[in-house]
């Protein structure tokens, strides 16, 4: 009996998301899940960004177009919220680079093998939390070590979630994150003692 020929199923291409803007004013004009037939200047979006804007969770007025130089030296555009832009411009900044000690209150773990970031509040950190601090959100920025304007990742972490789950983990988004020596980790000052735990 002849075997039936198996025809492979073609995999649907992943949708691409775009934020189109006016090149003069840099005002947002449209967000789409495919190329626009009229507008030409755009910033690529993540699926989450597209969903937030498309569902009106984030308005056009809350967004700005940010220019940056990518790893190959080419200028590109990206969409960020005004909140992120404001928080990235803060003055009360803490660089996370010290080794972890018994006094460390918050630990950022970088794991090359697992390709992930992990964020943990230590027992020392839990001891200083009280009142409204339990409802706080802390933010971490991952930038290039040589260029703090080159923002790679932004992590928003709710204290409540960190206490509930013990730790929060995110996978790497790009190959740039594979080399911790090329990265800088900063945050607004919330805890007094931060530590970086590196797993090569």
pLDDT tens digits for 86-96?
Answer: 666 555 688 99
Determine contact, residues 97/135, Cβ cutoff 8 Å. no
Question: pLDDT-derived band of residue 70, with 50, 70 and 90 as boundaries?
Answer: low
Residue 68's pLDDT is what?
64
Tell me the chain's radius of gyration from C-alpha atoms. Answer: 21
Same domain, 135 and 55: no
Say if 3 falls within a structural domain. Answer: no
Say if 6 falls within a structural domain. Answer: no
Same domain, 34 and 111: no
pLDDT at 5 over 80: no
Say if 135 falls within a structural domain. Answer: yes
pLDDT at 199 over 90: yes
Same domain, 33 and 113: no
Its pTM stands at 0.59
Say if 10 falls within a structural domain. Answer: no
Over pLDDT 90: what percentage of the chain?
40
Question: What's the DSSP call for residue 113?
Answer: T
Q: What share of the chain is helix, strand, coil (3-state, %, to 5)?
A: 20, 40, 40
Instruction: Provide the pairing of β-strand 194-199 with 106-111.
Output: parallel
Say if 133 falls within a structural domain. Answer: yes
Which residue is listed with tokens 């601090």?
A: 133
Query: Domain range holding 127?
Result: 93-199
pLDDT at 7 over 70: no
Same domain, 185 and 108: yes
Say if 77 falls within a structural domain. Answer: yes
Over pLDDT 70: what percentage of the chain?
86
The per-residue pLDDT for range 25-53, each reduced to its tens digit, is 888 999 999 889 899 889 989 888 899 99
Say if 137 falls within a structural domain. Answer: yes
The per-residue pLDDT for range 97-131, each reduced to its tens digit, is 999 999 999 999 999 999 999 999 999 999 988 87
Same domain, 100 and 172: yes
3-state SS, one letter per residue, for 133-190: HHHCEEEEEEEECCEEEEEEEEEEEEHHHHHHHCEEEEECCCHHHHCHHHEEEEEECC
Query: What CA–CA distance (Å, rounded) separates 3 from 74?
Result: 52
Same domain, 104 and 143: yes
Same domain, 105 and 139: yes
Query: What CA–CA distance (Å, rounded) separates 40 from 22?
Result: 9
Counting the structural domains of the chain, the total is: 2
Same domain, 55 and 152: no
């Amino acid at each position: 009996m002849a075997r039936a020929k198996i025809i492979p199923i073609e995999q649907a291409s992943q949708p691409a998301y775009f934020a189109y803007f006016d090149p003069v004013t840099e005002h947002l004009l449209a967000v789409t899940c495919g190329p626009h037939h009229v507008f030409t200047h755009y910033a690529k979006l993540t699926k989450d960004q597209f969903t937030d804007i498309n569902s009106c969770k984030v308005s056009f007025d809350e967004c700005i177009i940010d220019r940056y130089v990518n790893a190959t030296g080419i200028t590109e555009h990206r969409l960020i919220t005004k909140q992120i832009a404001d928080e990235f411009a803060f003055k009360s900044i803490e660089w996370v680079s010290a080794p972890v000690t018994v006094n460390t209150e918050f630990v950022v773990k970088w794991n090359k093998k697992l390709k992930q970031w992990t964020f943990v509040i230590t027992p020392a950190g839990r001891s200083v939390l009280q009142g409204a601090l339990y409802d706080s959100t802390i933010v971490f920025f991952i930038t290039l070590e040589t260029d703090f304007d080159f923002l790679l990742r932004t992590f928003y972490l709710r204290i409540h979630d960190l206490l509930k789950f013990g730790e929060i983990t995110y996978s790497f988004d790009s190959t740039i994150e594979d080399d911790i020596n090329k990265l800088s980790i900063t945050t607004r000052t919330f805890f007094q003692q931060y530590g970086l735990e590196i797993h090569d």
